[in-house]
Amino acid sequence: MADLEIRGLTKVFPGGVRALDELSLHIEDGEFFALLGPSGCGKTTLLRSIAGLETPNSGKILIGGRDVTRLPPGARDLAMVFQDYALYPHMTVADNIAYPLKVRGVGRKERRDTAESVGRSLQIQGAMLDRRPGQLSGGQQQRVALARSIAYRPHVFLFDEPLSNLDARLRLEARTFLKQLQRDLGVTTVYVTHDQAEALALADRMAVMEQGRIRQLDTPSNCFLRPANIFVAGFIGSTPMNLLPATVQDGGLDVAGRKLLIPDAIRAQAKVGDAVILGARPEYVSVSATELPDSLGGIVRVLENLGVDSLVTVEVGDLLVKATVPEERVPAVGDQVWLQPAQGRLLVYRQDDGEQVGAPPVAPIEAPALAPQAG
Amino acid sequence: MDLDRPIPASAPIRQPSESALVVRRLLSRIGFYLFVVIVGAYFALPMVWLVFAPFDAHPTLTAAPPSAFTLGNFPDLLKDPYALPSLVNSVILAVATMVLVVAAAAPAAYALSRVRIPGRDLLLYVLLLFSSVVTGTAAMVPLFLLVFDLGLINTQVGVVLVLAGGLIPAGIFILKDFVDSMPKSYEESARVFGASSFQILRDIVLPYARPGLAVIAVWVVVNVWSNFLIPFILLRDPGQLPAAVVVYNFYTEGGQANLRLLSSFGLLYSIPVVAMYLFVNRRYGFRFYGGIKG
């Protein structure tokens, strides 16, 4: 078991693409850590650099305090589960699971025993052990890939979008299974995904990445409730957050000619006349059929049924604002409604750099970098 | 069934054009089959001759069932001092060349597929181009001198080296296609588990590329088996000549072919290749790989 530390890691690919930009990060021993971001944000490059499959241009990687930056992948004591599982088609399931042991020169008998015992804990047993990976379902293949990693007894698990090849329902099952497994094993885990729901559900902490940098490093609930900037705000959440341009006025915020109350937390930092972006999740916007003070009045344009809730799109001036309403209070298209963000859930960002106005007045972009445990 | 109903309703209008269509389709079918039969016969007739002529006491150049059935052609053939040894020589040359080509082409293909070096593709194409020159007639004189200087004239080692040299580039080219098709994650996961390059080659790349290796092996054997020019030039001692060269012994001094011996020898000459193809096909199953059929 080991913690994982990244110090000022930079990777520039031939051709000038900066996949990692002076990135620093500390992952605690036993932590389930998710790297989240859109494709091309550098999350996979970071994972592959940790694995040793990419060589960073500068910076250091320490596993359990040991500098592994220049060590080959095999000397780093970590196991990786690939997106395509990378199961060897010509080997049986048992041989696949025990391949890490074969590399170390472990005898046939012991390899079989390990494959059976590790397989049993992941419900891979009996005749399935003697099949080829091609004869298994996607979910089974994924468990075989996990079993192979476990058989290696690594200090760190690396997961590269391991659930993305499964269909939606199976993915939810596999997610729960994976979280349970990681908790039982207590192995430090780095998990790369582009699916924000997966990161929120699995991780103890997560880093939201953009263009080789960490835009927010926090717990899933903080990333969801208090996104540090517009990028994170727009990336996290199954229904996209409302991002509305507004200006600060004396005692309030002007949104498309309507007035909203300014949140207490930022009253001190905001100056009259500042251009800001308001962030309000549809889940935290209430819809009223009667006029409310300090609310956004508008006309309902679109209704989308989400199951328990409905997503209402309201035209407020020249803006479209979304809100979710419970099934019993769904308005009709064309109705006049008044929208009000929930107390303490309205986020305010600076229009120029997209960072949050208020509570932690942080420097943009490198906010989490270089800060923790740099020594 | 309900879907069929609207068709009879509109049928009277379309009737003439539809029947014309049927006739045209029928004619084109007939034309196609005729074409296939002619092309098939063109290739099948020599085979039919090869099957019948060896058992004919007086074979001619027509492909017909034996007029006077006999097995006597084969004992006569064995009286020839070079006939049977030449088949053994062919096997030696083919197997030795095959082993050499596979052993050299497999690691080379792996390396060329995985290592990024500038001008890699150019290197490959230049090699491929030269290889067709090497075994070609144009390079015969320099090749002869080279082998002579190496002291390998009249040895099977010399023949094997020249043949292998000519086949390795194309072998690398074909095998590289197989290795290219292997997901990189296979090797990467093995590397993460600590496997060395040699272990990856032995445990993962070679088993994965096994159908490709089988293709190469068969292709090399067939090539060597049928190669006349190189053993003909580099070997002097008639006892060392392979079957492809010895087959020319069955001509009389006047240039007349001895059809009895020639056809029996031809049959013996082709059986190993056919047998090998059937075996490998059964074992590995030839499919189309990268546009190359084994």
More confident residue, A106 or B59: A106
A241-287 confidence digits (pLDDT tens): 999 999 998 878 999 888 898 888 788 788 888 889 999 999 999 99
Q: Are residues A149 and A195 in the same domain?
A: yes
Residue-level pLDDT at A298: 93
Q: Are residues A252 and A293 in the same domain?
A: yes
Of B183, B193, B210, Cβ closest to residue A103: B193
List of chain B residues whose C-beta atoms are within 8 Å of the C-beta of residue A45:
none
Is the pLDDT at A373 greater than 50, yes or no? no
Q: Is-contact B93 B231, C-beta < 8 A?
A: yes
Nearest of B267, B219, B236 to residue B94 by alpha carbon: B219
List of chain A residues whose C-beta atoms are within 8 Å of the C-beta of residue B195:
74, 103
Q: Are residues A57 and A168 in the same domain?
A: yes
* Domain end residue (candidates: A176, A204, A231): A231
Nearest Cα of chain A lies from the Cα of B191 at a distance, in angstroms, of: 6
Q: Are residues A223 and A261 in the same domain?
A: no
Residue A56 near chain B (CB below 8 Å): no
Return d(Cα B240, Cα B260) in angstroms, integer. 24
Nearest of B9, B63, B127 to residue B266 by alpha carbon: B63
Residue-level pLDDT at B173: 86
pTM of this prediction?
0.77
Of A21-35, A83-97, A253-267, B154-168, give the lowest mean pLDDT range.
A253-267
Q: Are residues A169 and A282 in the same domain?
A: no
- Domains in chain A, number: 2
Residues of chain B contacting A, Cβ within 8 Å? 183, 185-186, 188-195, 199, 203-204, 207-208, 210
Residue-level pLDDT at B291: 42
Q: Are residues A224 and A246 in the same domain?
A: no
Return d(Cα A340, Cα B149) in angstroms, integer. 95
The CATH architecture one would assign to domain B74-293 is: Orthogonal Bundle (1.10)
Complex ipTM > 0.90: no
Residue-level pLDDT at A364: 44
Q: Are residues A244 and A332 in the same domain?
A: yes
Return d(Cα B84, Cα B96) in angstroms, integer. 19
Residue-level pLDDT at A273: 86
Annotate A4-58 with DSSP letters as a single string.
EEEEEEEEE-TTS-EEEEEEEEEE-TT-EEEEE-STTSSHHHHHHHHHTSS--SE
The residues spanned by each domain of chain B are 2-55, 74-293
- Domain containing A174 equals 4-231
A188-218 confidence digits (pLDDT tens): 999 999 999 999 999 999 999 999 999 999 9
Residue-level pLDDT at A11: 94
Task: Kindly state whether residue A101 falls inside one of the protein's structural domains.
Answer: yes
Q: Is-contact A327 A373, C-beta < 8 A?
A: no
Q: Are residues A264 and A217 in the same domain?
A: no
Per-residue pLDDT of chain B (294 residues; tens, 9 = 90+): 444 455 554 445 555 678 888 999 999 999 999 999 999 999 988 888 888 888 888 888 877 787 888 888 888 888 888 888 899 999 999 999 999 999 999 988 888 888 878 888 888 888 887 776 666 677 888 889 999 999 999 999 999 999 998 899 889 888 888 888 889 999 999 999 999 988 998 899 888 888 889 889 999 999 999 998 889 989 988 888 898 888 887 876 677 778 888 888 888 899 988 888 888 888 776 554 444 443
Q: Are residues A266 and A322 in the same domain?
A: yes
List of chain A residues whose C-beta atoms are within 8 Å of the C-beta of residue B208:
88-90
Residue-level pLDDT at B47: 87
Q: Are residues A273 and A214 in the same domain?
A: no
C-beta atoms of A90 and B210 within 8 A: yes
Residue-level pLDDT at A6: 95
How many other C-beta atoms lie within 10 A of the C-beta of residue A67?
A: 12
Q: Are residues A158 and A251 in the same domain?
A: no
Which residues is A210 bridged to in the sheet?
A213
A111-153 confidence digits (pLDDT tens): 999 999 999 988 888 899 999 999 999 889 999 999 999 999 9
* Domain end residue (candidates: A231, A249, A269): A231
Return d(Cα B55, Cα A98) in angstroms, integer. 58
Return d(Cα A375, Cα B141) in angstroms, integer. 72
Q: How far is CA A63 from the centre of its chain?
A: 22
A255 class by beta-carbon count within 10 Å (0-12 exposed, 13-18 middle, 19+ buried): buried
Residue-level pLDDT at A367: 38
* Domain end residue (candidates: A200, A231, A262): A231
C-beta atoms of A73 and B188 within 8 A: yes
Q: Is-contact A10 A23, C-beta < 8 A?
A: yes
Half-sphere exposure of A193 (CA within 13 A, CB side): 25
Q: Is-contact A217 A205, C-beta < 8 A?
A: yes
Task: Kindly state whether residue A127 falls inside one of the protein's structural domains.
Answer: yes
B229-253 confidence digits (pLDDT tens): 889 989 988 888 898 888 887 876 6
Residue-level pLDDT at A179: 93
Residue-level pLDDT at A242: 94
Task: Kindly state whether residue A10 falls inside one of the protein's structural domains.
Answer: yes
Tell me, what CATH number does A161's domain have?
3.40.50.300
Token pair for residue A77? 């004591």
Tell me, what CATH number does A244's domain have?
2.40.50.140
Return d(Cα B280, Cα B290) in angstroms, integer. 19
Nearest of B101, B247, B81, B89 to residue B170 by alpha carbon: B101
Q: Are residues A67 and A131 in the same domain?
A: yes
Residue-level pLDDT at A133: 92
